[in-house]
Amino acid sequence: MAGRLSFSNIAALAPMVRVGTLPMRLLALDYGADVVYSEELIDLKMVQCQRLVNEVLETVDFVASDGRVMFRTCAQERNRVVFQMGTADPERALAVAQLVEKDVAAVDVNMGCPKEYSTKGGMGAALLLDPDKIEAILTKLVSGVSIPVTCKIRILPTVEETIGLVRRIEKTGVSAVAIHGRFKEERPRHPVHCDYIQAVAQHASVPVIANGGSLDLVKTYTDIDAFKKATGASSVMLARAAMWNASVFRQEGLLPVEEVMEQYLKYAIRYDNNPFNTKYCLCQMLRDKVESPLGKQVQSAQTNEEISAAFKLQDFFTQTQQHHQERRDALQSGDNPERLVMDGDVTTMPVKFERREYPPQITPKMYLLEWSRKEKLEQPLYETVEHSSDRTFQSTVVLNGKKYRSSLWEKSKKFAEQAAAIVYLRVHGIPEGKIGEEESDLVCKRKRENKTNGSAGEDARKKLHLDNGTQEEGDVQLTLQNSAFTDVKTKHLESS
């Protein structure tokens, strides 16, 4: 199909746990990699994720139920990033693939990692012992998504067994097979078995991607072609050679690792990478210099700002933070046109909840609750997430099987819920209770009476207004409790 990612004659960044996050993937692309793989992400975590558009960073974030950003991607890599998952279940694998399908170029199943975190539950190299399950997972994926599906395996005890497995795999309709040329019990110190990969490549009908040559065979860009010829493979995938110095993909030759580290750090700052992940990747690049003065400074750092100081990039860090704040302020301003944008299955609109625009005892959430009762619908459900780096919140309201959310982040959980309610009300042309708005029968009788209760009511309204809606929210919560409404669950976001 036109526009689909090709796996023939490519040099790819291999999937590496804790390494293949967005900064490293973008760095590899800059230096010449044709395709980049994400780190392995486990289906049980990913299937619980919520897809969120991060308008400040201009990324798409997949946020797990425990609050972590499990996968972050951006437009720069959209057509060349492969999402790798760890799975042992066809249905879960498909659910994850469909979740990320619109944001990646292909999906890959890890069938080669021998580490316990991957093999437990029958994932990773454990799948090599269950070819029926391999076939079931890949068949389900190929038939269920519109993007290419690939897998990554290790060699089996004999060449014949390895060829037999690949033949079963290619019958599922996958677009390529990556082969790590070591047995599952072997580790990087063992030599790669190029002859096994070569034998498979001679019999395969799909592109074979050779992997495992970093220790002995691939040191520079010219070695990539030599490794491809030694294995007879269509393409090459690099892990540790790229982790140590991503400029290995650069046709003009390797750059000093210090320069590569600086460029990596700039991406980490630009995309608010988790500082502990940033430290880990920088230490892998430092290798035997990790105990140098620079290495010790990196290891002791706790934030990206402190890491920046080690590389004398404080000005870049400050400028980037200012740029992020300017974007945040622009998005939070009232100047944005109220345009509808579909974010997956969520209807979004740039809306802010301004408390001063509503009477003290009236809120959009109250109007939405009353409207749902009038229409005999299930009551609204709110799910709120927090962005920990700046303590802002974003809420999604679910009503009548549809989801609505403001694309702007609010200063509190309560305000985020109110903004979500506003989006639903405005999309459906329902009154929201603003000052100056024509009175609606959606306002409950008790609230209407409070509104005309004279000076006592005026004093109460002033107190409520000063409390920024705290008491009013208590009233709403009481109403919801009396109606057996499910409590809102708040999730905490961390930058990945």
- 68-97: per-residue pLDDT in tens? 899 999 999 999 999 999 999 999 999 999
| Residue 121: per-residue pLDDT | 87
- Annotated active-site residue in 49, 74, 113, 281: 113
Q: Which residues pair with 42 in a beta bridge?
A: 86
pLDDT surpassing 80 at residue 494: no
pLDDT of residue 3: 66
CB 121 within 8 A of CB 88: yes
The DSSP element (H or E) to which 310 belongs, if any, is helix 304-310
Active site residue 151: no
Q: Which has more pLDDT, 117 or 402?
A: 402
pTM of the model: 0.73
pLDDT band at 215, cuts 50/70/90? Answer: confident
Cβ(81)–Cβ(26) under 8 Å? no
User: Helix (H, G, I), strand (E, B), or coil: what is residue 142?
Assistant: helix
Chain centre distance of CA 25: 13
For the ranges 219-233, 363-377, 381-395, 450-464, the lowest mean pLDDT is seen at: 450-464
Q: What is the DSSP string of 44-113?
A: HHHTT-EEEEETTTTEEEEE-TTSBEEEEE-GGGTTTEEEEEE-S-HHHHHHHHHHHGGG-SEEEEEE--
Q: How many residues are recorded in the chain?
A: 496
Other CB atoms closer than 10 Å to residue 468's CB: what's the count? 16
Question: Could you identify the residue written with the tokens 């997972």?
Answer: 137
Q: What is the pLDDT of residue 306?
A: 95
What pLDDT is attached to residue 192?
A: 93
Q: For a pLDDT cut of 90, what percent of the chain falls above it? A: 66
In this predicted structure, what is the pLDDT of residue 427? 87
Coil, helix or strand for 493?
Answer: strand
The SS3 of residue 336 is: coil
- The residue written with tokens 């139920």 in the block is 65
